[in-house]
Structure 1
Amino acid sequence: MSKIETAALVELQSMSNITIKPSDKGGAIVILDTDKYITEIERQLSDPSVYIRLRGDPTESFKRELNLMLQDAVQSNIITFSTFQYIWVEFPLVPLIYILPKIHKDPINPPGRPIVAGVGSLTSRAAEVLDKVISPLVQQTRSYVRDTTDFLQKLSEIGQLSDEFLLATFDVTSLYTSIPHVEGINAVKKLLCECGQYSSVEVNFFVQILSFILQKNFFKFQDKFYLQIRGTAMGSKVAPAYANSFMSWFEEEHVYSNALFTRHCCAWWRYIDDVFLLWRGDLESLSVFRDEINVVHQDIKFTMTADTHKIVFLDVEITKNIDRFHTRIYTKPTDRNQLLRYDSFHPSSVKKSVPISQFTRVCRIANDEDTVNDDLNKMEKKLGDRGYPKKVLQEGLSKVSNYSGPNKMKKNRMGQRVTFVSQYHTYSHQIQTVLNRHWHLLRESYPSISTFQQPPMMSFRRGGTIGSKLVRAEVPPVPKRFTFLGP
Structure 2
Amino acid sequence: LDIVIKPADKNVGVVAIDVNVYESKSLQQLNNTEFYRRLDYNPNRKTFNLIKSQLEQLLNNKQINKTIHNSIIPKYPGLGIFYILPKIHKPHSPGRPIISNVQHSTHRLSKYLSKILSPFIPVLSNIASTDYNISHYVILKDTNHLLMEIERFNQFVNQNHLNLRNLTLLTADISSMYTNIPQDEGTQTLSHFIQKYCNLINFKLDHITLAILLKLVLENNYFTFKGFFYQQIKGTAMGTSCAPEYSNIYVFMQEIPIFQQFIRYLIRIFRFLDDVLLFWFLQDQQNQQSSILIKTFIETLNNNKHLQYNFEQSTKTINYLDLTITINHLLNRLETTLYTKPTNTFQYLHYESSHPRHIIQNIPLSLSNRITRICSSLTSRWEQYFLLFCRLLARQHDPLNLLNKILRYRDSNRIELVEKTFNKMFSITPSQIPSATPPPIVHKNIILPYNCQLPSFQQLFSKEFDIIVPDIYRFVYTLPTNLQRMLVRSKYPASFSTVPPIHHPPPTDVSACLEPDPY
Cα distance in 2, alignment partners of residues 111 and 204 from structure 1: 38
Deviation by residue 1:194-230 (Cα, 9 ceiling, x = unmatched): 0314568544333221111001011111221111111
Aligned with 1:177: secondary structure?
helix
The letter of the residue matching 1:302 is Y
Partner in structure 1 of residue 320 of structure 2: 313
Aligned equivalents of 2:49, 2:267: Cα separation in 1: 51
| Contact persistence 1:27–1:338 (CA under 8 A) | no
2:254 is matched with 250
The separation in 1 between residues aligned to 2:462 and 2:334, in whole angstroms, is 49
Deviations 1:314-369 (A, max 9, x none): 00010111211111110111111132222212111222232221111111111112
Separation in 2 of the partners of 1:283 and 1:480? 54
- Aligned residue type for 1:164: N
Structure 2 SS opposite 1:306: strand
- Confirm whether residue 350 of structure 1 aligns to residue 359 of structure 2: yes
Q: TM-score, normalised by structure 1?
A: 0.85
Q: In the TM superposition, what is the alpha-carbon distance from 1:92 to its structure 2 partner?
A: 3.6
For 1:22 and 1:336, locate their aligned partners in 2 and report how far apart those are by CA, in whole Å. 12
Q: Give the stretch that moved more between structures: 231-240 or 389-398.
A: 389-398
Instruction: State the 1:134 CA deviation.
Output: 0.8
Partner residue of 2:392 out of 383, 400, 411: 383
Query: 1:149 maps to what in 2?
Result: 144
- Structure 1 portions without partners, runs of 5+: 1-14, 444-450, 482-487
Summarize the Cα distance change of 1:198–1:386 in structure 2 as closer, same or farther, 3 Å threshold: same
1:62 equivalent to 2:47? Answer: yes
Match for residue 8 of structure 1? none
One-letter amino acid of the structure 1 residue matched with residue 302 of structure 2? N
Structure 1 residue 436 displacement after superposition: 6.0
1:403 CA displacement = 4.7
Residue 293 (structure 1) aligned with residue 301 (structure 2): yes
Aligned to 2:347: 338
Q: CA separation of 1:366/1:141 partners in 2, compared to 1, >3 Å: closer, same or farther? A: same
Q: Does 1:262 align with 2:263?
A: yes
Q: Find out whether 1:469 has 2:486 as its counterpart.
A: yes
Tell me what 2:336 maps to.
Answer: 327
Supply the distance in 2 between the matched residues of 1:126 and 1:210 (Cα, whole angstroms).
9
Structural mapping, 1:397-408, within 5 Å: 397-401=406-410, 402-405=412-415, 406-408=418-420
**Whole-Å separation in 2 of the counterparts to 1:136 and 1:207:** 17
Cα distance in 2 between the residues matched to 1:51 and 1:318 = 39
From 136, 151, 174, the equivalent of 2:119 is 136
Secondary structure of the equivalent of 2:307? Answer: coil
Alignment of 1:75-474 (within 5 A): 75-106=60-91, 109-142=92-125, 143-158=138-153, 159-160=156-157, 161-193=163-195, 194-196=197-199, 197=201, 201-253=205-257, 255-258=258-261, 261-281=262-282, 282-295=290-303, 297-322=304-329, 323-401=332-410, 402-405=412-415, 406-408=418-420, 416=441, 418=443, 420-434=446-460, 441=468, 452=472, 458-474=475-491
Q: CA deviation at 1:415?
A: 6.1
User: So what's the TM-score if we normalise by structure 2?
Assistant: 0.80
Task: Give the corresponding residue for 1:448.
Answer: none
**Worse overlay, 354-363 or 200-209:** 200-209
Counting aligned pairs with the same residue, the percent is: 26
Task: Please state how far the C-alpha of 1:371 moved relative to its aligned partner.
Answer: 1.6
Q: Give the length in aligned residue pairs.
A: 450
Could you tell me how far 1:237 is from its partner in structure 2?
1.2
Distance in 1, Cα, partners of 2:121 & 2:63: 23
Cα deviation, residue 155, structure 1 = 1.2
| Aligned counterpart, 1:447 | none
Q: Which moved more, 1:94-103 or 1:301-310?
A: 94-103
Distance 1:140 1:463, change over 3 A: farther
What is the letter of the counterpart of residue 20 of structure 1? I
Offset at 1:87? 2.4
> Relative to 1, partners in 2 of residues 1:26 and 1:72: Cα closer, same or farther, differing over 3 Å?
closer
CA change 1:370–1:72 in 2 (3 A) is: same
Show CA shifts across 1:215-270 (max 9, x none). Answer: 101111122111111111011111111111111111233x2232xx2221111111
CA distance in 1, matches of 2:497, 2:313: 50
AA aligned to 2:315 is T
Q: Distance in 2 between matches of 1:313 and 1:39?
A: 31
Output the amino acid matched with 2:53. Answer: L
Offset of 1:58 from its aligned partner? 0.9
